[in-house]
Amino acid sequence: MRYIIKLSGSILDSKGNLDELGKILNELKIVAKNENKIGLVIGGGRRSREFIEAGRTFDLTESELDKIGIALTRINAMIVIGALYGLAYPRVVTDFEDAALAWNEQKIPVMGGLTPGHSTNAVAAMLAEYTRADLLINATKAGGVFDRDPTKFPDASMLESVSVTDLKKIIGSSFQAGKYELMDEVALGIIERSKIRTKIIGTDAASLRKALKGEKTGTYIVFE
């Protein structure tokens, strides 16, 4: 099986999250040994937003700010590459062909951001499309898609599945550096056009294990 996994950059934000990242990478090491192919895309997390906000103070353009975000995602990717001790392709992968070449060398390609105008979710969707992945997993703090905003409604419940159309309505369209939501429109467009099997899950090793085993966790994106 071919899995593309987007890890929210929040996984590198704090000591507790880094411990969980260690567990996630251990899961991946096991999965990668069993003839499976894994591609990783790492987000920018809190630090990317802090740097973007600093730049915004001086009126940098949105694409300048996006490029700052991209730089931070790549720094996070470097940490993950090091933490995978030789299992990962040693350089941060910056194009999809190199991701495929990494697989040829039995290495895990680790990407960060690519170009301004979208989030790392879009990069992960493009990588999943390019590599004909069996499953795209988006591990994000929200852990899935809810019927109502869980920050405002404590009784909100997580949906087992959501249609692309409904998800588009839920996320709206925020196109500012550092402010791309759960899934940005570019990511959803790619997922929709190629009907990529996609699951949104939490940023913990237990959820990832379940997603990789096809067990119930998070929210599937479905197509009408």
17 binds ligand UTP (CB under 6 A): no
With CA atoms as reference, report the closest residue to 142 among 40, 219, 211, 73: 219
> Helix or strand or coil: residue 61?
coil
Question: Under rule CB under 6 A, how many of the chain's residues touch ligand UTP?
Answer: 23
Q: How many CB atoms lie within 10 A of CB 71?
A: 14
Residues numbered 48 to 67 that lie near ligand UTP (CB under 6 A) are 48, 66
Residue of 17, 119, 207, 217 that binds ligand UTP (CB under 6 A): 119
143 binds ligand UTP (CB under 6 A): no
CB 21 within 8 A of CB 83: yes
Interface segment toward ligand UTP; rule CB under 6 A; list 3-11, 14-22, 28-36, 102-110: 3-11
H/E/C letters for each residue in 19-36?
HHHHHHHHHHHHHHHCCC
70 binds ligand UTP (CB under 6 A): yes
Residue of 3, 51, 73, 128 that binds ligand UTP (CB under 6 A): 73
With CA atoms as reference, report the closest residue to 184 among 124, 137, 136: 124
With CA atoms as reference, report the closest residue to 41 among 130, 106, 104, 105: 130
Q: Running DSSP on this structure, what letter comes out for residue 179? A: -
Q: How far is the CB of 35 from ligand UTP (least distance, A)?
A: 28
Residue of 10, 36, 94, 194 that binds ligand UTP (CB under 6 A): 10
User: Identity (one letter) of the amino acid at 80?
Assistant: V
Residues numbered 91 to 110 that lie near ligand UTP (CB under 6 A) are none
Task: Give the residues lining the site for ligand UTP (CB under 6 A).
Answer: 8-10, 43-45, 48, 66, 69-70, 73, 113-116, 118-120, 123, 140, 177-178, 180
